[in-house]
Structure 1
Amino acid sequence: MEKIGFIGMGNMAQALCGGFIKSGKIEKSSIYAYAPNQKKLNENAKKFGFIPCESLKEVVRNSKTIIMACKPYQIEGVLAEIKGELNEKSLLSIALGWNFEKYSKFLDKSTRIQFIMPNTPAMVGEGVFLFEKTNSLSEDERKDVMDLFASLGVVEELSDNLMGIGGAITGCGPAFVDLLIEAYSDAAVKYGIPRAMAYKLVSQTVLGTAKLQLETGEHPGVLKDNVCSPAGSTIRGVTQLEKCGLRTACIQSIDAIMER
């Protein structure tokens, strides 16, 4: 891809920047970035090799594709300063709530827009990136952008009306999985396993189980049944989870998000 500019260089932007460079799909010298904290920006520039910019206008003028990676509440102020500079440019936004429709109210029609919802596992190359179906990128641009993000995980397109539930599952989901990891690790510690070892064993079990489902395509219920021997330990644990309402709790956690 041609020159990319980051507005904001927080954890997610760093994950994207580092992953893009590692993938070999873009050179360090083709990545520009601006962030208000210039000291931190320059430290990250040394770490990743991108070119730091001293202003919003500088990063936009040097880039063909802009990735909006600042906090959602900052975006109106950012656009007020640079919206004219974005004419004829591509804008990829990873800021929650700022979809195609919302940007269209602020920007010239010549700005090509794509809303993308990432999640934190992108930091280790195992992210999920949800691309909103409505966009104004050219066909070739969109293909290149999807290919670039696919270097850091799984890319899926969702219709506009499904971006909310998609984001609830993939964006909030890591926190729910972390709760399960912590809980089962606490159980391991309760029965004598050292804390660090407990986290390692549980996290690897989660990772391996997820990979097994993805690679085999088997229904999770089938994989669960494969572990549950008649009158065995696993089915006893499964029965207790059912008594405690695990499935209902999981569904209700998403209901709480969608009904907010």
Structure 2
Amino acid sequence: MLAKGTQMELSNLTVGFVGYGNMAQAIAKGLVDAGVVRGKQIVACAGHFDKLQEATRSLGARPLHSAAEVAAAADVVIVAVKPYLVEQLCAPIANELSNDSTFVVSIAAGFTLERFSSFLPEQAHVVCTIPNTPIAVGQGVLVTESRDTLTDDQREVFTSLFSNIALIERVDSNQLSIGGTIAGCGPAYAAIFIEALADAGVKHGLQRASAYRLAAKMVQGTGALNIATGTIPAAMKDAVCSPGGTTIKGVAALERHAFRGAVIDAIDAVEG
């Protein structure tokens, strides 16, 4: 573990996961595949040790038996358990999570810095985030609470770790939930859209594999174009819709079936 006050170098960093489910594994895979850290720099604990051993094997990460062991070994502790387990697992190791050589990255939905402050000492270094699954392939989003208690060095390490595999989007505390819903739940909705486009392609004679590739690459490319140019989506849509052309006919069909409203309703359903 890095000594107190030492400038953290990624090559010497130990990243620990408290909880090693799908999202934690996506982050670990993204970090290793991008060359940010090596598998041997990752430690993790989870509820079922036998499953943890299997899950960590492919990256060469080290399975541990408890959150206390992870906190003792890691410079960065990623809290990756269900929200109802966060306080239960973190409160007993509050002292270990509050030393100057460790900082906590929460990926638990609904957890802000204010909630952590209710059971961790004020000297704890914490940043709250919500990631999404494309982080596994270096194309993720990490919605990040703008308020944190990291030191300048720790903030630099946080950025160096995650900017390699995700867009770090900082938002106010009261926007963490909606930001996380759009970025975190959005891949499921995008996947449904891709599947629907592919089904339509198959209906009209495309091979299934080809239809999936075309639809997925189109979504990827459209997002990349939007980010690269900063063009608003409405203008991107207009650029493809020639007067009396085929695309505007499809757009009109989507409008008749309340496509936009269905998407907004999906977000409303999550946010309550």
Residues 34 and 138 of structure 2 are in contact (CA less than 8 Å); yes or no, is this contact kept in structure 1? no
What TM-score, normalized to structure 2? 0.88
Alignment CA distance shift 1:190-1:28 (3 Å) = closer
> Is the counterpart of residue 43 in structure 1 residue 54 in structure 2?
yes
Partner residue in 1 for 2:200: 187
Partner residue in 1 for 2:134: 121
> Is the counterpart of residue 62 in structure 1 residue 73 in structure 2?
yes
How big is each residue's C-alpha offset from its partner over 1:152-171, in whole Å with a ceiling of 9 and x where there is no partner? Answer: 12111111111122112111
Partner residue in 2 for 1:19: 30
Structure 2 unpaired stretches of 5+: 1-9
Partner residue in 2 for 1:222: 235
Partner residue in 2 for 1:149: 162
The runs of at least 4 aligned residues of structure 1 exceeding 4 Å deviation read: none
C-alpha separation in 2, matches of 1:188 and 1:25: 39
- Give the residue type in structure 1 aligned to 2:43: Y
Query: Alignment partner of 2:250: what SS?
Result: helix
What TM-score, normalized to structure 1? 0.92
Query: Alignment partner of 1:252: what SS?
Result: helix
Identity %: 40
Count, aligned residues = 259
Q: How does 1:37-186 map to 2 (within 5 A)?
A: 37-88=48-99, 89-186=102-199
> Is the counterpart of residue 210 in structure 1 residue 223 in structure 2?
yes
Structure 1 unpaired stretches of 5+: none
Alignment CA distance shift 1:25-1:125 (3 Å) = closer
C-alpha separation in 1, matches of 2:111 and 2:234: 37
Going by fraction, where is helix more abundant, 1 or 2? Answer: 1
Deviates more, 1:99-108 or 1:23-32: 23-32
Residues 91 and 120 of structure 2 are in contact (CA less than 8 Å); yes or no, is this contact kept in structure 1? no
- Give the residue type in structure 1 aligned to 2:117: S
